Chains A and B, each alone.
Chain A
């Protein structure tokens, strides 16, 4: 089984936010929820880097560990999915997530959170709905993965900064790039997400 991962080559990211738009459109993500975002480090200063970030589908996912109703789990491909039928909107996954991935619709006064929403790797949902069904699309978004496709954010990245796919393959692509061009600011988040760094 392939282990699916994301890798953002920050030396290629141009902060165009096409990945954000692609994700929102493909999954019909509601207003106020951002499954993917681009963060610019050292904005306007020397060494500025932009990184596109969403759920990294961590190894030993901390969100899954802390969930009080155990509604988050990894699939065979290492994709971290969750069931919105079981989620109680407690917000613990956001405290545990190293990447700020979980999102909550505002459902009431003050800090009331609705069912958690996050990047599904375009692999549908972790609930009882049939894969690829309209009911699943409504709740979780697209099931491109079930059709053999990768997440749309990475697929349509114009500079091919954002890579998705088998972790070993994308790590190899990144390694080759760094060797060829002679520099790289690292695979952002990999150490925290996968307990693994890409050594070059």
Chain B
């Protein structure tokens, strides 16, 4: 055996030993068939969704929202819409109706204590009434068509059948979309024209202390709007702006928003709308059935003097003083 051959043999042995040692390291990167493992750095769905709420990527089509591959939050939104909203919404709205019914049974219609005087005084001008009724009619239309989207399939669908219900819902959808504009117009008018008289004052605390006129024998002083009415104003302002903004996001789907934004917008819209309906149910009750002489304020615009004395004494006093000054002023002959 020559020296050269020995060296060759030693080299082969060293190489073989080296290969044996290297095998486990290589095996980790190769599949059982010897092909390289392309998932060594691969993305798995499970790992990806642990890091991000939804799997997004690149697409070859212009529809950008299609770039979201998987968004498990869809199932969460389904749970919100079908379980939380149905049960919660029904509980709040039926609960409100039940409470108001109970209030009517217990307290009955709140009468004008001193009876009607027969004298009338203007409480709301025509422009104020138009703004109110524009908002009110829009609200009722929006409320009914909105409730139909959420509860229609439970309440109405079994009664009138799928075809008729689908036709009604189709129309209701468009009515809901377009009535939104008149609602927002009315809401903005109301916010502006009633803003000054709804700023909280010191006398409001007194009104609350006196039980807001619900306790017989106690007189609750109030300006043009009492704290109850002010609460309706401010809550309507907040709720109105929330439903309007979220509503327009829904009306313009995916205009600068993504799927999560749309789900949140729908959630806000639905929850606020349910609370808003409950608030306005209370508002409607006290303005019609609940109190004698209240509806006229928004109906003809004129209320009975005794009603004004009982519920808005400070406003009445200021108004009468004002009118007095005006009649005196006009009585002075122009020279």
Contact = CB atoms under 8 A, between A and B. Distances in A.
Interface of A: 11, 15, 17, 20, 32, 34, 37-43, 46-49, 51, 53, 62, 65-71, 85-92, 94-100, 110-111, 113, 180-189, 191-192, 197
Contacts of A69: 152-153, 157, 162, 165-166, 169
A86 B252 CA distance: 23
21 contacts: A37-B60, A40-B58, A42-B43, A47-B41, A47-B42, A49-B43, A62-B75, A62-B78, A65-B82, A69-B165, A88-B170, A95-B262, A96-B77, A110-B252, A111-B251, A180-B33, A183-B37, A185-B45, A186-B44, A189-B45, A192-B70
A53 B56 CA distance: 12
Given A95-B259, A111-B255, 8 more contacts: A15-B60, A32-B63, A34-B66, A96-B81, A181-B35, A182-B37, A183-B37, A188-B70
Nearest to B68: A100
B263 interface: yes
Interface of B: 30-33, 35, 37-39, 41-46, 48, 55-61, 63, 65-75, 77-78, 81-82, 148-150, 152-153, 157, 162-163, 165-166, 169-170, 173, 251-255, 259, 262-263, 266
Which DSSP category, helix, strand, loop or mixed, fits chain B's interface? helix
B75 A184 contact: no
Contacts, number: 173
B69 A99 contact: yes
A99 B57 CA distance: 13
A98 B163 CA distance: 28
A5 to B, nearest CB: 15
A180 B31 CA distance: 8
